[in-house]
Amino acid sequence: MKPNLVHQAWNGAEKCKQCRIRELVLFADLQQEDFEQLHHPIIDIELATGETLYREQQAPEFVFTVRSGMIKLVRYLPNGNYRVVRLLRQGDLAGIEALHNSPYLHHAIALQETSICRIPVEDIEQLNQHSPHLYKQLTARWYKVQSDANIWLSEFTVGNSKKRVANLLLYLAQHNSNHYFYLPSREDMGALLAITTETASRIIAEFKRLEYLQVEQQGALIDIDKLKQIT
């Protein structure tokens, strides 16, 4: 490997060891000797709202850790409509299918300004072969994909529209220490919950009128107890 790439890879490893969300990410359990096996640079990427990280069927070279912000995974339908199949938040791994050498299954698009770490699949394969510390985190990431898929099926696409919107708001409010969370557009909410944009708009307006939901400059706030009564 060229000297400048060695330097970049080493700097990337050092950043991983010092990462402020280290306990949430794929490399949480790695030890010093594991980081020494990283041979390719781990690049920080800043995505603007609406920017595409990767596209469906694109050849997989990297997986991506979400450091901040939010990513939507989108599947476009033959009729021109789209479905949001999953939301990725801080600590989540995007493009996990690349670890099976499969093309990316979705379009990954930033819902808001988002910080990403780009990790070469080659390095993960190398670590997985020579280090016992990565297996636990890889297993946890696959489990989370399955768990999120179950949530999408059981809570976001079943029941009446009002229940679906309430479940989504409760989900988005989780794990936010300042109690504010990003509220997707009505179009994205419709694509995620299998309802129309108009229905999503009507229910959000009703929740705001009833003071179940407040939308402020910092983000959205909900009355958890009232929304739980709906679900």
Residue whose C-alpha is closest to residue 155's, from 146, 145, 165: 165
Sketch out the chain's domains with CATH numbers. 3-154 (2.60.120.10), 158-230 (1.10.10.10)
Residue of 139 and 51 predicted with greater confidence: 51
Share of the chain above pLDDT 70, in %: 77
- Mean pLDDT to the nearest integer, 182-186: 94
Using CA atoms, how far apart are residues 163 and 169, in angstroms rounded to an integer? Answer: 10
Residue of 140 and 28 predicted with greater confidence: 140
pLDDT at residue 114, as a whole number: 95
Instruction: Among 20-24, 92-96, 146-150, name the one with the lowest average pLDDT.
Output: 20-24
Residue of 174 and 33 predicted with greater confidence: 174
pLDDT at residue 21, as a whole number: 43
Burial of 153 (0-12, 13-18, 19+ CB in 10 A): exposed
* H or E segment and range at residue 118: strand 114-120
Residue 67 pLDDT > 90, yes or no?
no
pLDDT digit string, tens, across residues 194-209: 999 999 999 999 999 9
If you average pLDDT over every residue of the chain, what do you get? 82
Using CA atoms, how far apart are residues 156 and 165, in angstroms rounded to an integer? Answer: 8
**DSSP designation for 81:** -
Please, are residues 213 and 222 in contact by the beta-carbon 8 Å criterion? yes
